[in-house]
């Protein structure tokens, strides 16, 4: 029996943002309790807010945008969870990973660190972990058909290692690997994920977008 769970956080005005930015606005433009005929919200936030995806155009001018992906490219049928023991401000590299075996079926690698527990603390964005640039080549070596990576921290670019973070974005996105940041992974520690559907907000020329992500788990 499989359950379906969310792997994406709800966006609100307290959602942590990279660099500590605070520019999320969710306002009522119409409200029934104010005498209007309906309830309507006005939303204002970056395309890289909350659980979101980075696509190649985020770092490459001629890179793919959200609209360039077909519907089936947002469906992942063989996700793999890699549990990583990582501390504040460390970059996940080969030495932090368990022994890996080549698997041609894996299409989405999820780095589970437990760092989500700090999401309501400034340390989540101030000193969060990141991914070392060389991990992109390592993932392609062991998982030749990988199309995405995801993580339970705010970005693959740790604020403490900005230059390394830029290189990591270039190596992953340059390998046509989607990056899903700030995922909600607290319920999958002991689960097996059978399938993921990750649907981004579709808007013109999007280099990234908030996502609604569903997982089928056992």
Would residue 83 count as lying in a domain?
yes
pLDDT in tens, 118-129: 999 999 999 999
Q: Which residues of 69-94 are buried (b: 16+ CB within 10 A; e: fewer)?
A: beeeebebebbbbbebebeeebbbbe
Average pLDDT of span 135-148: 98
Would residue 84 count as lying in a domain?
yes
Residue 104's pLDDT is: 98
Domains contained in the chain, number: 1
Q: Given a cut of 80, is residue 92 above it in pLDDT?
A: yes
What CATH number has the domain bearing residue 143? 3.50.30.50
Closest C-alpha to 204, from 70, 75, 72, 68: 68
pTM of the complete model: 0.97
- CB contact at 8 A, 208 and 47: yes
pLDDT in tens, 30-77: 999 999 999 999 999 999 999 999 999 999 999 999 999 999 999 999
Would residue 188 count as lying in a domain?
yes
Q: Please tell me which residue, 178 or 218, carries the higher pLDDT value.
A: 178
Would residue 18 count as lying in a domain?
no
Would residue 116 count as lying in a domain?
yes
- CB contact at 8 A, 112 and 189: yes
Q: What percent of the chain stands above pLDDT 70? A: 100
Q: Give the domain extent around 62.
A: 3-7+46-217
Would residue 136 count as lying in a domain?
yes
Residue 190's pLDDT is: 81
Q: DSSP secondary structure string, 5-28?
A: EE-SPPP-TT---GGG----EEEE
Would residue 41 count as lying in a domain?
no
Would residue 17 count as lying in a domain?
no
């Amino acid at each position: 029996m499989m359950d379906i769970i969310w792997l994406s956080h709800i966006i609100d005005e307290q959602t942590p943002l990279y660099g500590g930015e605070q520019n999320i606005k969710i306002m009522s433009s119409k409200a029934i309790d104010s005498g209007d005929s309906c309830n309507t919200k006005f939303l204002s936030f970056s395309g890289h807010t909350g659980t979101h995806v980075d696509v190649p155009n985020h770092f490459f001018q001629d890179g793919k945008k959200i609209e360039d992906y077909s519907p089936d490219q947002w469906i992942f049928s063989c996700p793999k969870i890699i549990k990583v023991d990582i501390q504040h401000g460390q970059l996940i590299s080969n030495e932090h990973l368990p022994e890996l075996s080549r698997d041609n079926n894996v299409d989405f690698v999820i780095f589970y660190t437990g760092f989500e527990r700090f999401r309501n603390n400034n340390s989540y964005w101030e000193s969060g972990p990141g991914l070392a640039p060389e991990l992109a080549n390592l993932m392609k070596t062991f998982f030749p058909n990988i199309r995405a990576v995801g993580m339970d921290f705010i970005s693959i670019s740790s604020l403490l290692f900005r230059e390394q973070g830029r290189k990591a974005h270039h190596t992953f996105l340059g390998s046509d690997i989607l990056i899903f940041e700030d995922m909600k992974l607290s319920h999958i520690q002991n689960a097996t994920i059978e399938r993921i559907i990750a649907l981004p907000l579709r808007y013109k020329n999007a280099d990234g977008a908030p996502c609604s992500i569903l997982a089928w788990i056992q």
